[in-house]
A = this chain, B = another copy of it.
Amino acid sequence: MSEILAFRDARDWKQFHTPKNLAAALSIEVGELQETLLWKTDEQITESLRQTEKFNRIRDEVADVLIYALLFAEATGVDPVTAIRSKLQGNAEKYPVETSKGSALKYSELPSTPKS
């Protein structure tokens, strides 16, 4: 994280990094990540990941997504580790292992678990 901020600050870019701009940047990068997979089957993607050039492109897009997500977190005062822990805890309640195991249903569609 400190390296990302050092990069930003050396270029005096914090002035452009409003939450809205960073969220838009994040959205753009996710688009670019999706583009590396577009029109491909799952098998073709597995194959792409074995080719250095294509793998590196995907790796770079993942990096861009993470960089902007972390810059957004910094700009809004969110601590990434605390945020993830707190979200996983919330998800654990919404998706109990008993009812959600092996199921792709959204929590609102899951069978309710009896509370005894």
Tell me which residues across on chain B come within 8 A of A58, comparing CB atoms: 76, 78
- Beta-carbon nearest neighbor of A49 in chain B: B76
The A interface, classified by DSSP as helix, strand, loop or mixed, is helix
State the CA gap A63–B87 with chains docked (Å). Answer: 6
Say whether, besides A11-B95, A11-B97, A67 and B87 are in contact (CB < 8 Å). yes
Q: Are A33 and B37 closer than 8 Å at their CB atoms?
A: no
State the number of copies, please: 4
Q: Is the CB of A10 within 8 A of B97?
A: yes
Interface residues of A, Cβ cutoff 8 Å to B: 3-4, 7, 10-13, 15-16, 18-21, 23-35, 37-40, 42, 45, 49, 55, 58-60, 62-67, 69-70, 72-73, 76-78, 80, 82-88, 90-92, 95, 97, 100-104
